Amino acid sequence: MPVFLGIPLIGWIQMIIGVAVVCFVLVKYLLRPKKRKTSGYLIKNVHVIVGDGSEMHGQNVLIKNGLIEKITEEEITSNSAQVIDGSDMTLMPGLIDCHVHIQGLNNRSDEDSDRFLRGEIPNIFKERVLPYGITTVKDLCAPRHFIYKLRDEIRKGKIVGPELLVVGPNFTAPDGHPANTLGGDNPWIRKEMAIEVSTAQQVSEGIKELKAADVDFLKFTYQGGDYWYFDKKLQINKIDKSLMQQIIREGKENGLNTTAHVFYKEDVRDLLEAGIYGIEHGILDEALSPDDAIINLWKESGAHYVPTVNAMTYEKNPDYLTTNMHNLKLLYDAGIHIAMGTDNMLEMMGGEVEHRELMYYVEAGLTPMQAIVLATKNAAEHLGISDRKGLVHEGMEADLILLEKNPAEDISNIQFIDKVFLKGRIVYSQKVISSYNIPDYSYPPEVSVMKYRKSDNADKRIVDVSGFKDKSEIIHTVYTGDSVFSNEEYTVEKNLSCSSWHYSRPFDNTDLTAVKDGDYIKLTGTFKGKPQEKTFKIGDGLWYQMMDMAMPAFIASDEKQIVFYSIGTGNNRGAMGLGEFAAEKAGEETVEVGGKKYDCVKITFVLTAFSWAWTGLYWYDKKTDQLVKSGEKGKNAVKAGYQLITVE
């Protein structure tokens, strides 16, 4: 091996190759196509609801580094921000809910709770909280083990969720709420969620513990007597008055404001006199008159009020709802500081609760704009974070909702959210509705009534399309044995997309009407005894409420796959929501039904959000276009559905 300058030839070769490789990589890197780096968003020409009751039109809003950097009518030039056209849109602060409960009540151990936190919480935030524009919440009683951990994970960005303020466990009397209510048959919940106090020393120790845990506020229950926990009537003890005063006083000495769960007027009076910071729920045992002395006492005390009107719907006493709304309006007019809180149990419910809460405020007599202020500026003030949240102002954190419709005009417009920003990042963006060119369909002359039965039981369905030609009408009846299970009437367009739908299912008190109105479907009526009033965006999308019966139009089209929409009426999570389905042509097959052979087009359905969970299978006769057989693919086998009896 030749050697030069003390280095063998192979060493030289390796060195030269090494240098060449480094040079090549470096040159490649320097000559890489320069991708323009985008950072932040520029929302152009948008209507702004500020959060303090005012609004501005035609604004350009620059969001950068998590903050609202600039708001102006003047043109903003930014070569890095992504531009969003805000014409016809409204921008408002993210909603702040001052009274929620995140924790699952079924958890019975630290391990259960950890599983719930890792497994379910991220989805709850992603699907049921952030899409509704809720960007800050205060949890008003939770297991210590759970809530501090969750707060820290959100702060570190490990879980994407609303900013979380906490009180930790609640002070209460021995055998008070939530100790013997939520914790009645769950020792873990009782130990984790309640600090049962009967001595001054226990109060001091509790405050010390909570301060060390860095809670944002203290909370206690100030209610005794009857307490309905679901269908169980329990007796709860009220915390001793002197201990109640001690919590408020010692809390203040430790830099912690205190808020109290309370239902009755006399208790509210005690609390106001003791200098409470926040009243949760309020006076439910009396509809106040405007000259009641307690209003003045309240006003002078400066105590804030968190009405939680939604929580009244959990209560056995039906008067609580109307009393709460009556007092809310009175207290509002008296100038009491009110902040939105709902008592939303996020484990079971979603952000429609917060939207509903705003609607209650309007029902109580506030204007939509006044209601919005309670959920933005006032809520931020109540939580002590108004220096950075609650307003669309320059320098504020960019927790924002971009809406398609203006909620200051009609508070129910709060549901038409296009995008949600959390500290300047888009955490929700409305899905684009797919639309297709499906040609006009007409039923073959020999087709007017189809009858089906389920292969494994006595269920039958009859589809009557005889009214299609003259009235664009289709009638669909499902029978269990000989009795009617449900009856539906559809008015359809030529491509079999629905324009109106009436659904009745008498046995469980369901009667619904949905009508297409422009880009929206308006649903009203009763579902399982509960009143419904919903609006879904459909745009130019296909509303195939009659699902498998609408497929003949798709089969006649050139599309291989379509996405369509349908309102759920079953027992699952999709009930009373607009589900998104995909239908796909899956080839041709000959099937035998009732001893007769049919050459069929096979179609599969999936729910786009759960495409792994369920696949519906449908076969359509190539001669009549009509459904011959259906089934569904489970984990292991194909389960049979309906089979054709006759086409008349």
Shortest CB 569 distance to Zn ion, Å: 32
Shortest CB 591 distance to Zn ion, Å: 56
Q: Which is nearer to Zn ion, 343 or 580 (CB)?
A: 343
| Part of the chain binding Zn ion (CB under 5 A), chosen from 43-51, 336-344, 354-362, 552-560 | 336-344
For 573, list phi and psi in degrees, rounded to 5: -65, -20
For 629, list phi and psi in degrees, rounded to 5: -155, 145
490 in Cβ contact with 548 (< 8 Å): no
- Distance between CA 535 and CA 517 in Å, rounded? 10
Tokens of 115: 């599983």
Q: Which is nearer to Zn ion, 164 or 523 (CB)?
A: 164
Q: Which is nearer to Zn ion, 43 or 312 (CB)?
A: 312
Dihedral of CA 530/533/538/544: which sign? positive
97 binds Zn ion (CB under 5 A): no
β-strand pairing of 225-229 with 530-537: unpaired
Number of residues interacting with Zn ion: please give it, by CB under 5 A. Answer: 2
Quick note: the x/- pattern for Zn ion over 135-154, rule CB under 5 A, is -----x--------------
Tokens of 413: 């417009």
Shortest CB 193 distance to Zn ion, Å: 11
Q: Which is nearer to Zn ion, 346 or 396 (CB)?
A: 346
- Distance between CA 639 and CA 616 in Å, rounded? 9
Longest dimension (CA), the chain: 108
Q: Which is nearer to Zn ion, 306 or 450 (CB)?
A: 306
Shortest CB 110 distance to Zn ion, Å: 23
343 binds Zn ion (CB under 5 A): yes
Residue 540 half-sphere exposure toward CB, CA atoms < 13 A: 5
Q: Which is nearer to Zn ion, 46 or 124 (CB)?
A: 124
Length of the chain: 648
Using a 10 angstrom Cβ sphere, with 0-12 exposed, 13-18 middle and 19 or more buried, the burial of residue 558 is: exposed
Q: What are the E-state strand segments in 237-286?
A: 257-262, 278-281
Query: Nearest to Zn ion by Cβ — which residue?
Result: 343
- Distance between CA 436 and CA 554 in Å, rounded? 10
| Part of the chain binding Zn ion (CB under 5 A), chosen from 66-74, 127-135, 340-348, 478-486 | 340-348
| Part of the chain binding Zn ion (CB under 5 A), chosen from 191-199, 215-223, 342-350, 489-497 | 342-350
Shortest CB 221 distance to Zn ion, Å: 9
119 in Cβ contact with 413 (< 8 Å): no
Q: What residue has token string 């531009």?
A: 83
Q: Which is nearer to Zn ion, 140 or 272 (CB)?
A: 140
- Distance between CA 92 and CA 590 in Å, rounded? 57
Q: Which is nearer to Zn ion, 361 or 428 (CB)?
A: 361
92 in Cβ contact with 310 (< 8 Å): no
What does the radius of gyration of the chain's CA atoms come to, in whole angstroms? 30
Paired with 473 in beta bridges are 491
Shortest CB 311 distance to Zn ion, Å: 6
Shortest CB 545 distance to Zn ion, Å: 38
Shortest CB 343 distance to Zn ion, Å: 4
CB atoms within 10 A of CB 26: 10
Task: Give the 3-state secondary structure of 606-623.
Answer: EEHHHCCCCEEEEEEECC
Q: Which is nearer to Zn ion, 94 or 178 (CB)?
A: 178
Q: Which is nearer to Zn ion, 186 or 204 (CB)?
A: 186
Shortest CB 178 distance to Zn ion, Å: 9
Shortest CB 139 distance to Zn ion, Å: 9
Shortest CB 541 distance to Zn ion, Å: 39
- Distance between CA 45 and CA 204 in Å, rounded? 55
- Distance between CA 116 and CA 107 in Å, rounded? 8
Q: Which is nearer to Zn ion, 267 or 397 (CB)?
A: 267
Question: Which residues of this protein are in contact with Zn ion, per CB under 5 A?
Answer: 140, 343
